[in-house]
Each structure stands twice: as structure tokens, then as C-alpha cells.
Structure 1
């Protein structure tokens, strides 16, 4: 198969990978084949942001090997889906992209067969964790298919991004549990590690590496990627509380129910209106009425406006950073357009 340098080409690579895994899984157990079918479904329907970043960067620098770029782009999409699966278990999320998460689906299977809620939850969590592990392995298997000259460099980029993502996730959990102090500086660092590294900086750098660029381009793309990632996460946190569920495909009570420590919450801390309802934040039984009280407090304290203002300031700063790089002009234009999209997106 000769893949082309488009997002459709990425879909071809993923379709072939999942078809092969589902075929191989079938003799090993019906529920194992079902896991792979659900992993395929979980990887569909996304924005394909990371593959696009890699492919656009690769093309901007000359695109010497389209097939390698398509394969690597598919690997980054698998990496993203894998981390979402793990994140859903950690955050106890039941929906993703407008449909049940893998963990929720397997838990529902167990419940329908008459198992207790505890057993059903354990089955769902175990299935999703194993699914995430399998997709991480599959991502590395795809990277192993690119030409030897850049294979090790790509593997290092992925390894570093996963290392940082785990650090960010660990911080996020610590903030939520209260085992670490969530200062604004630490929250921003968590965003840089958990989201910005693997979602933006890594695919940008991978596209440049596949094109054979030097260290300066990699350094500039790292800087731009981190800025884009923090901007993305700030907007995501805002949508996670005030977004339209029909457009985002995510609950607007989940972050509040989990007591997720975001800059939105940090801006509200210590304000009387927030202190009056803070006992509801992180309540596992939080209902929509309680969530609405928390949202009202976030507005009253000025936290929502402060977050919106920060997003705009970061948007302008990121555009300035992009303009100061030596990246190809076409790529700079694409990155500026992406910056504006991330700052204004509704889903």
C-alpha cells in the first residue's frame, strides 16, 4: 500500500491497522475482538489535529517522503487515542465525542449480564487501560516502519512527549486530590507537559524531522507548539464548564464534579462567591443544579472573564512568537490561522 500525504491517507493506514488487529484478535476471544472494534471506533470521529500538524509541517519543508509522513501521522493519532482512553479511566468520564467511552461500554456489557456495579466498573476500567496500552504499542509499531534515517529521532520525540504527558497527568491528579499545591505557575506547567508536548510540539517537530530540517526549526516548533498547547487547554477548560455539550460532545459537569484544578478555578479561589459554593466543587454526586451554582460563581467572581482575557492575550503573544521564527512563510500562516481557531473554537 502506498499512502498519500493527506488526512485520508492517515485513515487508510489506521483502517488497515485495525482490520489486521481485529482479524488477529478474533481467535483469542470474542471480547478481545470486541475491544479492538471499540478501539477502532474510539479513534474515529476526531479532528485529526495531530496528524494535520505533522503533515502540514512536513509539506511546508519540502515533503521528501510522503509515505513515511502518513505513517508517522497515523502513529500520533493512535498515541492521542491511547492517552484519552487512560484519561477517561482516571477522570471517570463516561462519554467522549458524543458517545460512551470504551470503559463505559464494557461496564455496560457487564451490567447487562447481571454483574455488580463494582465488578462492571472494574471490567470497564481494565478494558480501557489495556486498550490504551495496545494503542501505544501500535503507535510504536507504525514508527518502526519509517525509514531508518529518522526512525530513532521519531521514537525519541514520542518517548519524550509521553514522558512529559505522564508528568502532567500526575500533576493534574495531585492537584485534584490535594496532594500538591496548584499554584497558577504549576497549573500552566501541567498544561505544557500534559497537553502541549504530545499534542502540538511533538507532531510539529516530527514533521520537521521527517523533512530533514535542522535543530533551529525543531527548537522554534517546540516553542510554538507549547504556546499552542496551553492556548488549546485554556479554551478546553472553559468549554468544559461553559461549552455547548451538543457541540463539544463532553459533559459540562464532569470537570466540576471531579474538582479539576484549572486556571478558571484558580482565578475564583478566595473570592466570596466561590467560597460560598466551593463545597460543591469535587462532589462526586454533583447534579446539574449544583453545577449551575458553581458556574454562576465563576461568572460572579470574574473568573470566566479573566480566563477569556488570558486566552486573547496568549493568542496575540503566540502570533507574535510565530512571526519571529524562521519557519517557511506558508507554515507560519497556517500556524497563525490555527492559533485563532484554537482561541475561538466552540468544540
Structure 2
């Protein structure tokens, strides 16, 4: 996805977000040292996990805050709300890697992988080393979720505004967890993976905390009315599905040197996506199903599986879904009466979802 453009004032606020994050992690690393080197390293690795992202969610907060006329007096609060969503994002990445058993993120060992690797180097057996890595990642994610809520709870704002922001954050956490649980349920065969249910899961995993939540939070902080908030929530829902469907495509057809993640891991783990839901209804499924979800799936077999998903029409079907959801998001903001600058930005972001791997 492309970076969300921001106004002149928000360029400065964007720099403040990075500074605020750096200060937060530096303080936590310093305090954690008294509880042992492992705990200090956990916080240092959490900081590394937060570094290098596109800051999409913070920029959505700032874009909405600026578009609806957020005051200079509330600019510091906008930065803290933006930081809260970035910490929440990092927490979900840490937990998601544990759920997916991924040890690499952005082309390098993630927190779980790093802790596990160090344990192996220290002579710990493979299963116990993995437990060490996963425990560290779960704890780090939990700590960041708490910190995210703390940033918002401590804002010096009117009680009703602070409460509304906490409600947005709470709803984002609630819905995303529902999506993650459904994702695992589909992948292990607890629940039948039908396409409508896959799309609902796709929406819950990404849309609320990544798009609808940050946009709504920035708008609330600037005093936007209920009609505007409803538009932003629907836009966030549509964009979230388009974006997550694009990620599903990248997870199978993307370039590893670009995504920083294996294009075989989703297929090896039996990750139920719209690609797989479509393929199940085609004559190609016996061939695809024989390889899908095999823990010993090789890279060569993974490429063969990707080829079969393309030939059976699954890839083009999902690409058309991305086009549809992004198109509906664009049509919404172009006719919604949102502030012109924000509408233009949101339309550009939606267009960037289309053709991400072409």
C-alpha cells in the first residue's frame, strides 16, 4: 500500500510519532533491565518489531484529524492516539506470527524466531526453543496491547471524548481477535471454510483496527459528526477487505524479496483464504488438496500449488474481488461529502490496493 499523504502540519506530527515511539521503547527497555537481561531483550526486540513499518495506521489518524479541523491544542493527543494504533498493530503482528508459526517478518527473524534461534544456539532442543520464542512473542504482544490502551486512557481530554476513543480502540481489539480465532478455526478444520465466512473473517482481521478505527479516532478527536464517522467506518470495512485479499494474493504469488515473507508458508500451514475457498469448488481441488496444508511442502511443490491456483481461476477471482471492494470504497468517498482533501487521499489509498502483485 502507498503511504497516506498528510498535510504540512501533519508532516511534523508524523515525526513526533516516531520520536514518541522511540521514547516509549527507550523508557521500557531501561526499566525492564532491572528484571533481567531476557526481559530487557524482549522489550528491545519489541522495539525492533515496531521499527520499519509504513506507519499506515498513525497516518490515517492524522489525516482524519487534520481534515476535520483538529485544533493545535489537541495535536499532542492526536500523536498519542496514532502511537496507540501503531503499538496495537505491532502487538497483532507478534501474535499473528505465533499463530502462523512464522519466524521471519520483513526479511529478518521476528521476535519469536530471534528468541528461538538464541535458545538453539544455547543448546536448547528445537521444541523447547520454539516454546521460548513463542512465549516471548505472546508476552510482548500482550504488553503492547496494554500500552496501547494506556496511551489513550491517559489523554488529557474531556471524559466523553476520551471514552469514545477508548471505545474505538476496544472495538478494534474485540473484532480483530474474533477474526483471528475464526482464521484458526478454518485452518484446522473446526469450521467449514465457506467463501462468505472467509470474507467475514477477512474483514474482521484487518478492517477495524487498521482502517476504520484509526480514521474514526482521528475524526472523533477533531469533533466530526456521526454521519462522517459512519462513512469512515464503511470505507474502512471495504478497504480492509480489499487490503487483506491483496495480502492473501501476495502470500502465494508475491515476490519474497519484496514481501520479506515466504510464499509457501500460508500453503504449508493450510491457511484458509478466499483463494482456497474458490479452488475447493473447482475440478482442480483434488490436485490442490493433495498438497495444501502439508507441513513438509517443499518450495517446488509450493510453486506448483500456486500455479494450480492460478490455472483453476482462483487468482483472477480474488483479484476481481479486490477490484470490487476497492471500487466500492472509492465510489463511497467520492460521493460522501467528506472533506475534499481527505476524500482524495482515501481514494488514492483504495486505488493502491489494486494490482499490488502485477
TM over 0.5: yes
2:50 aligned to which of 30, 43, 52: 43
Tell me the residue number matched to 2:18.
11
The correspondence of residues 47-86 of structure 1 with structure 2, limited to 5 A, is: 47-64=54-71, 65-86=74-95
Tell me the residue number matched to 2:203.
192
Work out the CA distance in 2 between the residues paired with 1:4 and 1:15.
17
| Cα gap change, 1:4 to 1:13, in 2 (>3 Å) | farther
* 1:105-154 residue CA offsets vs partner (Å, 9 max, x unmatched): 10111111101111101100100000000111111121123223222111
- The structural deviation recorded for 1:216 is 1.2
Work out the CA distance in 2 between the residues paired with 1:118 and 1:234.
33
Say which is worse superposed, 302-311 or 143-152, in terms of deviation: 143-152
Work out the CA distance in 1 between the residues paired with 2:326 and 2:231.
17
Work out the CA distance in 2 between the residues paired with 1:134 and 1:279.
40
- The structural deviation recorded for 1:26 is 0.6
What is the TM-score with the length of structure 2 in the denominator?
0.94
| Cα gap change, 1:15 to 1:168, in 2 (>3 Å) | same
2:260 aligned to which of 238, 243, 249: 249
2:297 aligned to which of 286, 291, 315: 286
Tell me the residue number matched to 2:336.
325
- Could you tell me whether the CA contact under 8 Å between 2:322 and 2:353 is conserved in 1? no
The correspondence of residues 161-180 of structure 1 with structure 2, limited to 5 A, is: 161-180=172-191
CA RMSD of aligned residues (A): 1.4
Tell me the residue number matched to 1:28.
35
Look up the SS of the partner of 1:82 in the other structure.
Answer: helix
- The structural deviation recorded for 1:307 is 1.3
| Cα gap change, 1:27 to 1:44, in 2 (>3 Å) | same
Work out the CA distance in 1 between the residues paired with 2:108 and 2:285.
32
The correspondence of residues 194-273 of structure 1 with structure 2, limited to 5 A, is: 194-273=205-284
- Could you tell me whether the CA contact under 8 Å between 1:5 and 1:69 is conserved in 2? no
- The structural deviation recorded for 1:47 is 0.9
Work out the CA distance in 2 between the residues paired with 1:166 and 1:311.
23
- Could you tell me whether the CA contact under 8 Å between 1:299 and 1:305 is conserved in 2? yes
Tell me the residue number matched to 2:325.
314
Work out the CA distance in 2 between the residues paired with 1:8 and 1:259.
40
Look up the SS of the partner of 1:286 in the other structure.
Answer: coil
- The structural deviation recorded for 1:273 is 2.4
* 1:278-317 residue CA offsets vs partner (Å, 9 max, x unmatched): 1211111111011012111101101111111221222222
User: How many residues were matched structurally?
Assistant: 345
1:142 aligns with 2:173: no
What is the TM-score with the length of structure 1 in the denominator?
0.97
Work out the CA distance in 2 between the residues paired with 1:39 and 1:344.
32
Gaps (5+ residues) in structure 2? 1-9
- The structural deviation recorded for 1:4 is 7.6
Tell me the residue number matched to 1:118.
127
- The structural deviation recorded for 1:346 is 4.5
- Could you tell me whether the CA contact under 8 Å between 1:247 and 1:346 is conserved in 2? no
- Could you tell me whether the CA contact under 8 Å between 1:58 and 1:211 is conserved in 2? yes
1:130 aligned to which of 124, 139, 144: 139
- Could you tell me whether the CA contact under 8 Å between 1:5 and 1:67 is conserved in 2? no
Tell me the residue number matched to 2:310.
299
